[in-house]
Amino acid sequence: MKAVQITSPPRGFTLLEVMIVMLLVGIMTGFALLSVGGGPRERLAEEGQRLAALVELHQQEAILRGELRGIRFARTGYAILSLNEQGEWQPPAAATTLVRRELPENIALGLWVDDRPAELAAASRLPQVLLLASGEATEFVAIFGFADDREPDAPLYRVAGDALGRLAAGAVKR
C-alpha cells in the first residue's frame, strides 16, 4: 500500500492584509506630498493669499484703532508699519507678529501704485501703500513671480487693492 501525503493548498495574502498594506502606502504617500509642498503655482498663490490676508487684517486694525497704517514693499518682502506720535513709521505697537514677511529667495515681487510702477528700493523707510482709518487705501497691484523665470507662460499671482480698501487676488498670465 502506498502512503498518500496530504499537503495544504498554497496560501496567498488575504484581502484584509492587502487592504492594510494599501492603507499604509496611502498614508506614507500623503505625508510625502505634504512635506514636499505644492508646485510653483501653489507657492505663488500661497504668498499672494498671505499678503491679501495680512492687508485685510491690518485694514481692520487701522479702522478699529483709528490709526494710519502703511505697507513698505521691497523686491524680497514687505512690512506693515504704523505712524507714531512723532510722525515716524515703525512696526505697530500692539503687533508682535504678522508685520514682516521675507519672501523665499526664488520669489520676486513687483508693485504698481496708482497705475505706475513703484520703487522697491530697500533703503526706503516710507510705505508705498497707506491703509487709512476710514477703510480707504492706496490703490495698488502686487505681482508675485519667480525671479529667474521670464518665460511667457511663467506663473504669476496678483493681489490688488482699490481706493475703497477692497482686495482681489488670483493667478494671472503675462
pLDDT of residue 95 exceeding 60, the answer is no
Q: Give the per-residue pLDDT at 55.
A: 92
Q: How confident is the model at residue 10 (pLDDT cuts 50, 70, 90)?
A: low
The CATH fold of domain 40-172: minor pseudopilin epsh fold (3.55.40)
Q: What residue ranges in 35-161 does DSSP mark as E strands?
A: 69-74, 77-83, 89-90, 100-102, 107-113, 116-117, 129-131, 140-146, 156-161
Q: How confident is the model at residue 97 (pLDDT cuts 50, 70, 90)?
A: low
Count the alpha carbons within 13 Å of 58 in the hemisphere toward its beta carbon.
28
| Rg of the chain (C-alpha set) | 27
Q: Give the per-residue pLDDT at 120.
A: 85
Q: Say which residue, 37 or 157, is predicted with more confidence.
A: 157
Q: Is the pTM of this model over 0.75?
A: no
pLDDT of residue 13 exceeding 80, the answer is no
Tell me the backbone φ, ψ of residue 92, rounded to 5 degrees. Answer: -55, 140
